[in-house]
Amino acid sequence: MLRIHWPLPSIGFRHGAPHRTGGLRAAALALLCALALLMAGPVRADGVNLTAFELVRTDEGLQLTFSAKFELPRSVEDALQKGVPLVFVAEAAVFRDRWYWRDKRVNEAVRTWRLAYQPLTRKYRVTFGGLNQNHDNLADALASLSSSVNWKIAEPSQLDGDGHYVEFRYALDTSQMPRPMQIGIGGQADWSLRAERSRRLN
């Protein structure tokens, strides 16, 4: 599931202030704005929308199809344009329920994409496994690294019995950046691009 962290503004009152009525009015307006945003729908703090997520159990094993949609925040895109490669990771872990102990992880599958900008050719290069693909614009490059079709995440022998579920995560992996940069972007919301989903097998 997607985890959303949205701190609402705290409202304080100054007793005895000369313009208390104006302060109350401003506080009420802030509260109404917050309520309006809540009624409009959940705020996505991670910036990634999973537009497709499907699990299919076949004779060959468990297959996952997913698609994510997002845009790079300005600070992240600026770093990419200045030669900093970005690494995106999709992780799928398959668990089986156990009443007597913590659930057993029966398998884990990982896919990694590397995105880099080439200033001489003004193209974006996406590396997946040993394959390289060049794109003329950033939108096409992001589309190529944010989906997988029929990705096998578990073997049939690992799915014996019932009570299995999958925990999925897709994210910009800042841990693979140079250490000084990791420290510099620590705590910055722009660099927290991720989506998570959990689903039980039928």
pLDDT in tens, 159-197: 988 899 999 999 999 998 888 887 878 778 889 999 999
Distance CA 121, CA 126 (A): 14
For 52-121, give the secondary structure using H, E and C: EEEEEEECCEEEEEEEEECCCCHHHHHHHHCCCCEEEEEEEEEEECCCCCCCEEEEEEEEEEEEEEECCC
Q: Which residues contact 148 (CB under 8 A, 6 or more apart)?
A: 64, 65, 66, 90, 111
175 Cα distance to chain centroid:
14
Half-sphere exposure of 85 (CA within 13 A, CB side): 15
At 124, give phi and psi (nearest 5°).
Answer: -105, 130
- pTM greater than 0.95: no
**175, two tokens:** 């841990």
Distance CA 83, CA 183 (A): 18
Interval 78-100: pLDDT, tens: 999 999 999 999 999 999 999 99
